[in-house]
């Protein structure tokens, strides 16, 4: 606490580690070490944090999984005045009044400047290379400097599309390239991740990234292309939300016709997303994005568990009325989803991680950039500025490649070794003893996981949570 007090006020950026705090009357405790504060107050598991995890697949700041312990959200300042902790959000920069060409030019300048500063005194650096546009842009920028580049790629089969594109990129830029093939579910790696995870996170890409990092050798710094989707507008749901804006002008019968092409839960979620689109953006987004919808949680949670908190109904998004639906969603992803992914993936003492696409100046530049500079609904293009500013250095096979995402084969794993682990984890006696979840609904999730993406996501998210509780709750 004394060391941290000397640094007050503390400002947390996107790539900073967590700062935890607790206060009880005049007793204020601030630390970057979660175990320190846990040992001080011996907290119980927070029901609301579990509910938020089952909404988002991660626990957003200021919440933690422990009652009485909070953490500083990104883009916020922490200060202590009269033994009272005060958290204040930093003022958002005004939108930049630039034309498209200026956004492109400035983004390029910022990326190259960031990398130039990061590679000083380095003879060789590593890059986690996926074969997608984000890491390709970072590789293209790195290749302009006099530094050796080691690239590391993971695929799930020999003919994996990402693996093949990454191999072509490595050949194009003449890097020292290494490939790793991951077949079945790696239980030991997964358990390591769970053991080191301060708060549960259901992002399955934690697994391949962990394996890639364990294979990196001979460098001090690892470059990563994280943040391209959040900063430059790459997620498919961004375009879907923007499309919803135009759906409201269509007659009801046309919207009903479109929804009828959907099936099962996807149809139900799509209908609720559109129902609340014009009246309640937070609730509309809740039905688009949540792992378990409020009605499903009513069936999942026991009566004992539901006592003492309100099931999340969209309040966590805290959307600003002055911003549009999509700008609010983009801001939420940047402030909550992205940092929740960065820390469990990359926080290690062995390497210094570099995220050039998350340069604070880049984020400030692009945060409120016009949406038409980020993606095009008609032409189906995403991350327009990002693709444009390194276009001269990028090969055509990357520039013309459509976004497909880095997909971990959870569905395939659930038919192999992962299924055994799931069956061991969801023990009827243990579930009933914890009194959180109704066993009958857990059985439904176990049965229906292969129906569609939503049900697989439910099962995987519950599995991660139960394994996290097995590891961390029993140690309290």
Per residue in 320-376, pLDDT tens?
A: 888 889 999 999 999 999 998 887 777 777 899 999 999 999 999 998 899 999 998
* Domain boundary, last residue among 284, 309, 330: 330
139-161, pLDDT tens digit by residue?
Answer: 999 999 999 999 999 999 887 88
Residue 94 belongs to a domain: no
Sheet order of strands, 352-354 included: 176-181, 148-155, 124-128, 221-223, 352-354
Whether 392 and 430 share a structural domain: no
pLDDT at 264 over 80: no
Hey, CA dihedral for 307, 309, 312, 313, is it positive or negative? positive
Q: What is the pLDDT of residues 168-219, one digit of tens each?
A: 999 999 999 999 999 899 999 999 999 999 999 999 999 999 999 999 999 9
Strand order in the sheet with 70-71: 27-31, 20-24, 70-71
Q: Does 437 score more than 50 pLDDT?
A: yes
Q: Is residue 72 part of a domain?
A: yes
What is the mean predicted confidence (pLDDT) over 389-395? 94
Same domain for 209 and 227: yes
Tell me what pLDDT residue 476 has. 46
Range of weakest confidence among 227-231, 253-257, 299-303: 253-257
Report how many domains make up the chain.
4
pLDDT of the residue at 252: 62
Q: What is the CATH number of the domain that holds 112?
A: 3.40.50.620
Domain that holds residue 32: 2-89
- 4-21 b/e with 16+ CB inside 10 Å = b? beeeeebbbebbeebbbb
Q: Does the pLDDT of residue 454 top 70, yes or no?
A: yes
Question: Is 229 in the same domain as 243?
Answer: no
Residues 211, 262, single domain; the answer is no
pLDDT 10s digits, 20-70: 999 876 778 899 999 999 998 899 999 999 999 999 999 999 999 999 999
The pLDDT value recorded for residue 249 is 64
- DSSP 8-class letter at 356: G
State the burial class of residue 45 (Cβ atoms within 10 Å of its Cβ: 0-12, 13-18, 19+).
Answer: middle
pLDDT score recorded for residue 269 = 76
* pLDDT recorded at residue 452: 83
Residues 112 and 161 grouped into a single domain:
yes
Higher pLDDT, 253 or 230: 230
Q: Beta strand 70-71 with 124-128: parallel, antiparallel or unpaired? A: unpaired
Residues 295 and 371 in one domain: no
What proportion of the chain, given as a percentage, has pLDDT over 90?
A: 68
Same domain, 228 and 358: yes
pLDDT score of 189: 95
Do 358 and 432 belong to one domain? no
Do both 133 and 156 map to the same domain?
A: yes
Quickly list DSSP for 152-168. Answer: EEEESSTT-HHHHHHHH
* 304 in the same domain as 316: yes
pLDDT score at 266 = 62
98-112, 119-133, 269-283: the lowest-pLDDT one: 269-283
Residues 249 and 215 in one domain: no
Comparing 452 with 204, the larger pLDDT belongs to 204
The pair of three-digit structure tokens given for residue 241, joined into one six-digit string = 């939300």
The structure's pTM equals: 0.92
Give the CB-side neighbour count of residue 452, counting CA atoms within 13 A: 9
Instruction: Report the pLDDT value the prediction gives residue 257, as an integer from 0 to 100.
Output: 53
Maximum mean pLDDT: which of 3-7, 338-342, 445-449, 460-464? 460-464
195/250 same-domain check: no
């Amino acid at each position: 606490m004394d060391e941290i007090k000397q640094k007050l006020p503390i400002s947390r950026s996107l790539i900073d580690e967590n700062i935890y705090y607790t206060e009880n009357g005049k007793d204020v405790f601030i630390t970057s070490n979660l175990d320190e504060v846990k040992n001080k107050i011996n907290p119980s598991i927070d029901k609301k944090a579990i509910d938020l995890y089952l909404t988002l697949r991660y626990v957003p700041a200021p919440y933690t999984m422990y009652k009485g312990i909070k953490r500083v959200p990104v883009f916020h300042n922490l200060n202590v005045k009269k033994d009272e902790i005060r958290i204040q959000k930093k003022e958002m920069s005004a939108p930049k009044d630039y034309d498209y060409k200026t956004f492109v030019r400035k983004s390029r300048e910022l990326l190259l400047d960031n990398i130039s500063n990061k590679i000083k005194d380095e003879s060789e650096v590593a890059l986690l290379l996926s074969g997608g546009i984000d890491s390709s842009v970072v590789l293209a920028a790195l290749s302009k400097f006099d530094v050796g580049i080691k690239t590391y790629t993971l695929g799930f089969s020999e003919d994996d599309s990402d693996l093949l594109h990454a191999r072509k990129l490595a050949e194009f830029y003449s890097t020292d390239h290494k490939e790793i093939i991951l077949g079945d579910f790696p239980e030991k790696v997964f358990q390591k991740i769970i053991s080191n995870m301060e708060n549960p996170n259901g992002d399955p890409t934690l697994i391949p990234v962990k394996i890639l990092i364990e294979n990196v050798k001979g460098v001090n710094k690892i470059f990563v292309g994280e943040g391209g989707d959040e900063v430059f507008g790459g997620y498919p749901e961004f375009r879907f939300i923007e499309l919803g804006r135009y759906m409201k002008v269509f007659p009801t019968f046309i919207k009903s016709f479109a929804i009828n092409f959907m099936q099962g839960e996807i149809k139900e979620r799509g209908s609720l997303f559109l129902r609340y689109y014009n009246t309640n953006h937070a609730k509309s987004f809740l039905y688009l994005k949540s792992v378990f919808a409020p009605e499903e949680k009513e069936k999942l949670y026991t009566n004992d568990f539901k006592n003492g908190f309100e099931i999340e109904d969209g309040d966590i998004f805290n959307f600003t009325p002055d911003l549009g639906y999509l700008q609010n969603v983009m801001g939420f992803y940047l402030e909550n989803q992205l940092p929740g992914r960065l820390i469990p993936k990359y926080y290690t003492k062995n390497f210094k991680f570099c995220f050039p696409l998350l340069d604070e100046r880049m984020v400030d530049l692009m945060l409120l950039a016009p949406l038409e500079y980020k993606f095009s609904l008609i032409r189906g293009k995403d991350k327009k500025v990002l693709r444009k500013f390194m276009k001269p250095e990028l090969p055509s096979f990357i520039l013309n490649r459509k976004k497909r995402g880095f997909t971990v084969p959870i569905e395939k794993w659930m038919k192999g070794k992962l299924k055994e682990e799931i069956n061991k984890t969801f023990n009827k006696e243990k579930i009933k003893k914890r009194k959180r979840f109704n066993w009958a609904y857990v059985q439904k999730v176990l049965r229906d996981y292969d129906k569609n993406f939503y049900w697989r996501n439910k099962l995987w998210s519950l599995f991660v949570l139960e394994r996290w509780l097995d590891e961390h709750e029993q140690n309290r």
